[in-house]
């Protein structure tokens, strides 16, 4: 039996969190050598331990995605250890409650909250791509998946800077897909709906029923359901797919 990502070297940012961890486990099950990155070193170490305990191959390469020097060092470590970087899942992110912006309309966000949201959720993705792309060009190709959101496709009340950042991620994704197609680098985004992770605990507590009424499946998605799409997008099975933003949202975007 062969795996979808056999022999590939793969990096995941936000790899200590819900979607990142599920994807790291999926990548490893499909045969990739996995580099797990997070600024929460403990949760990243847990992900690495889970992979290694299951017979996969993983290491941690922690970085804060808002820090260009740390991001550069992260890519250097992956390449020094695994020899190349075939797949990169730029997934680290934060939600409004993590910058004290829960329930706030556009004019109520503080400047500090807005700046922090853009720094992590938008600039962080750009910094990672800026470090990954030269390596992928040098080795003759690769696949990048960025984590967008349904918030990258439509507006969501009281999520101003989050929505702006995620729309930005979709824009960066499309632009890079055009710029690096000739270099055999595919760049796509996954756009999750409401997924059961630490990030959504707070909003589900406050208005879970209201939110689930908007989802045709009337339930949250699991991190594993996002991991399926990311694994496929990173694999050679998706060889003709670039510049796309795929919804995995229980039908939310169809309404």
Residues belonging to the active site = 162
Buried b (16+ CB within 10 A) or exposed e, 174-193: bebbeebeeeebbbbbbbbb
Collapsed DSSP state (helix, strand, coil) of residue 94: coil
Q: Where are the beta strands (DSSP E) in the chain?
A: 9-13, 33-37, 57-60, 87-90, 142-147, 185-192, 245-248
| Secondary-structure percent of the chain, ordered helix, strand, coil, rounded to 5 | 55, 15, 30
Contacts with ligand NAD by CB under 6 A lie at 13-14, 16-20, 38-40, 43, 64-66, 91-94, 120, 124, 147, 149, 192, 194-195, 197-200
42 CB burial (10 A radius; 0-12, 13-18, 19+): exposed
State the residue number with the nearest CB to ligand NAD. 17
CA distance 91 to 111: 24
Residue with tokens 């590939």: 8
């Amino acid at each position: 039996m062969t795996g979808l990502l056999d022999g590939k070297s793969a990096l995941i940012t936000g790899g200590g969190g819900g979607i990142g961890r599920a994807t790291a486990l999926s990548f490893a099950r499909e045969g990739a050598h996995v580099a797990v990155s997070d600024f929460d070193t403990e949760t990243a170490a847990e992900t690495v331990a889970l992979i290694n305990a299951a017979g996969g191959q993983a290491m941690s390469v922690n970085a804060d995605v808002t820090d260009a020097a740390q991001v550069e060092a992260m890519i250097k470590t992956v390449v020094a250890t695994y020899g190349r970087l075939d797949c990169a899942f730029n997934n680290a992110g934060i939600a409004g409650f993590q910058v004290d912006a829960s329930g706030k309309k556009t004019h109520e966000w503080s400047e500090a909250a807005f700046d922090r949201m853009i720094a992590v959720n938008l600039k962080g993705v750009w910094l990672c791509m800026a470090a990954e792309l030269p390596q992928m060009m040098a080795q003759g190709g690769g696949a990048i998946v960025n984590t967008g959101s349904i918030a990258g496709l439509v507006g969501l009340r009281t999520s101003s800077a989050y929505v702006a950042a995620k729309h930005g991620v979709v824009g960066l994704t499309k632009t890079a897909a055009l710029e690096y197609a000739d270099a055999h680098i595919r760049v796509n985004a996954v756009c999750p709906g409401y997924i059961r992770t630490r990030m959504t605990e707070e909003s589900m507590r406050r208005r879970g029923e209201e939110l689930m009424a908007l989802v045709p499946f009337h339930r949250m998605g699991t991190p594993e359901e996002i991991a399926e799409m990311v694994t496929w997008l990173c694999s050679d099975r998706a060889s003709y797919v670039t510049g796309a933003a795929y919804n995995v949202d229980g039908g939310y975007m169809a309404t």
